[in-house]
Amino acid sequence: MTNDYEPVIIAFCCNWCSYAAADSAGTARMQYPSNVHIIRCMCSGMVHPNFVMNALTQGRADGILICGCHIGDCHYQDGNKRAELRAEAITLMLEDFGLEVSKNTYNNS
């Protein structure tokens, strides 16, 4: 028996770095899995925890990826630091809901 299950992943991508990288990969004809859905946002710091919680609790996504600029390189000064703090808060909320959380949810580097 084969396992055909493919989790739906929603990737919130910062317009300036991660979305630009995904766009460049597309221009270079590189492919990514069809179960990954990219949502372009102006800054990773603008991804509200409600977006993440609603997607997971309403069954619209099996996983969330928030991609932003490198720390110190944010086009909005500290948006990526805000995203990192929000990721920590989201982790706590997910644990409160009893949802499985990867311990490597966010990057502190």
Q: For position 109, what pLDDT does the model report?
A: 47
Residue type, 29: R
pLDDT tens per residue, range 18-70: 999 888 988 899 988 899 999 999 999 999 999 999 999 899 999 999 999 98
Domain extent listing, the chain: 9-96
Which tokens go with 35? 């179960």
105 Cβ contact list (under 8 Å, min separation 6): 87, 90, 91
pTM of the model: 0.85
Q: For position 98, what pLDDT does the model report?
A: 85
Which tokens go with 32? 């990514």
pLDDT tens per residue, range 96-106: 988 777 755 45
